[in-house]
């Protein structure tokens, strides 16, 4: 049995923008998205709210296969000790390779490097695979906003998760 490639994670570069934008569009799903499916003309992936430095990318066999966006939950100084996972996507072809787990672990490590004491995220209640991944990496449910979003004609919960660093 041949060895499977192992995903690696690195900081995003400006040249990753087109690839990350394509991954973001290709992985859009009502399982995790509360905004409508992207349609042309597409917005830039990197912008004033989502800088290159806010992203880590997963590579598998030399190809970019996913990303995690790490930001601040608010602009308040009193909340500066918290970082938030604000997006995570892995291509269909890289699912099951450990790329998602590698990205979560890298985001946790990066949050610590940036001086955070906590890391949080929001995930839709019906997204069982993502919730299981986060729980296996030490995140716990810290709150639920019942029926917070109407997605695909169904009301879904917004689950707030977090962990200390």
E strands present in 102-153 = 118-124, 140-151
Mean pLDDT, residues 36-53 taken together? 94
pLDDT band at 27 (very low <50, low <70, confident <90, very high): very high
DSSP category for residue 82: E
pLDDT at 95 over 80: yes
Q: How much is the mean pLDDT over the chain? A: 95
Q: What is the pLDDT of residues 116-136, one digit of tens each?
A: 999 999 999 999 999 999 999
pLDDT band at 98 (very low <50, low <70, confident <90, very high): very high
Report yes or no on whether pTM surpasses 0.75.
Answer: yes
Q: In what order do the strands lie in the sheet with 55-60?
A: 8-11, 55-60, 63-71, 82-90, 118-124, 154-164, 140-151
Tokens 């919730």 belong to 131
Is residue 165 within 8 Å of 112, Cβ to Cβ? yes
Nearest to 106 by CA among 123, 121, 85: 85
Mean pLDDT, residues 37-61 taken together? 95
pLDDT band at 6 (very low <50, low <70, confident <90, very high): confident
The predicted pLDDT at position 4 comes to 78
Percent share of the chain, pLDDT over 70? 99
Q: What is the pLDDT of residues 64-91, one digit of tens each?
A: 999 999 999 999 999 999 999 999 999 9
Query: Helix (H) and strand (E) counts for the chain?
Result: 3, 7
pLDDT band at 2 (very low <50, low <70, confident <90, very high): low
pLDDT at 1 over 70: no
The predicted pLDDT at position 5 comes to 82
CA angle 133, 135, 140 (to 5 degrees): 145
- Angle of helix 99-113 relative to helix 128-136, nearest 10 degrees, comes to 50
Is residue 83 within 8 Å of 72, Cβ to Cβ? yes
């Amino acid at each position: 049995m041949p060895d499977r490639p192992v995903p690696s994670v690195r900081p995003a570069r400006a040249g990753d923008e087109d690839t990350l934008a394509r991954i973001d569009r290709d992985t859009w799903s009502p399982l995790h998205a509360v905004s409508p499916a992207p349609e042309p003309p597409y917005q830039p992936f990197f912008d004033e709210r989502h800088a290159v430095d806010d992203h880590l990318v997963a590579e598998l066999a030399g190809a970019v296969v996913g990303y995690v966006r790490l930001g601040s939950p608010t602009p308040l100084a009193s909340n500066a000790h918290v970082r938030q996972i604000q997006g995570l996507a892995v291509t269909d072809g890289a699912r099951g390779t450990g790329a998602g787990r590698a990205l979560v672990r890298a985001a946790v490590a990066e949050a610590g490097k940036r001086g955070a004491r906590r890391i949080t995220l929001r995930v839709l209640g019906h997204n069982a695979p993502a919730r299981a991944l986060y729980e296996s990496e030490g995140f716990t449910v810290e709150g639920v906003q019942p029926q917070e979003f109407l997605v695909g004609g169904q009301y879904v919960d917004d689950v707030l998760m977090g962990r200390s660093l």
